[in-house]
Amino acid sequence: MVAMQRVRDARVGRLGTVTPDGRPHLVPCCFAVLDDTAYTAVDAKPKATLDLRRLQNIRSTPATCLLVDHYDEDWALLWWVRMDGEARVADAPSEVKRAKSALVTKYAQYGHVAIPGPIIAIEIASWVTWP
């Protein structure tokens, strides 16, 4: 599947959540996909708190999307993949370990940057692709 390979190779995604008052909230993120679940972590890059807005949003409204895209000056090479689903904070130790391992495998930086915060798991319900 071309979309899955593009997602596997992509280095950054945009995580879309909904605030408690119904407003969209979009942030860039590192991620890994295992089967039908996408994972992203609250890592140790500079942040004011580990209880990020995206976590508050997911607790309030779990409907979430993860968008991965590619831009090129040659517009024939443009593409995007959107994964829609329900997000939750992963709490099972085996799932957290598996997600962290996938993130470390995909991003060498995680060998030097800790993942002290929660892991967000997005159960992917649908994949939308263009073109």
At residue 83, the pLDDT reads 98
- The answer, yes or no, to whether the previous bond of 131 is cis (omega within 30 of 0) is yes
Q: What secondary structure letter does DSSP report for 14?
A: E
- Calculate mean pLDDT across residues 97-126: 94
pLDDT in tens, 38-97: 999 987 766 676 678 999 999 999 999 999 999 999 999 999 999 999 999 999 999 999
At residue 46, the pLDDT reads 65
CB 87 within 8 A of CB 58: yes
Q: What secondary structure letter does DSSP report for 76?
A: G
CB 45 within 8 A of CB 115: no
At residue 116, the pLDDT reads 87
Q: Any idea which residue has 């979009």 for tokens?
A: 26
pLDDT in tens, 9-32: 999 999 999 999 999 999 999 999
Rounded to whole angstroms, what are the CA distances from 3 to 29, 67, 88, 95? 18, 12, 24, 24
Write down the H helix ranges in the chain: 2-9, 53-60, 93-106
Judged against a pLDDT cut of 90, whether residue 113 lies above it is answered with no
Q: What CATH number was assigned to the domain covering residues 2-126?
A: 2.30.110.10
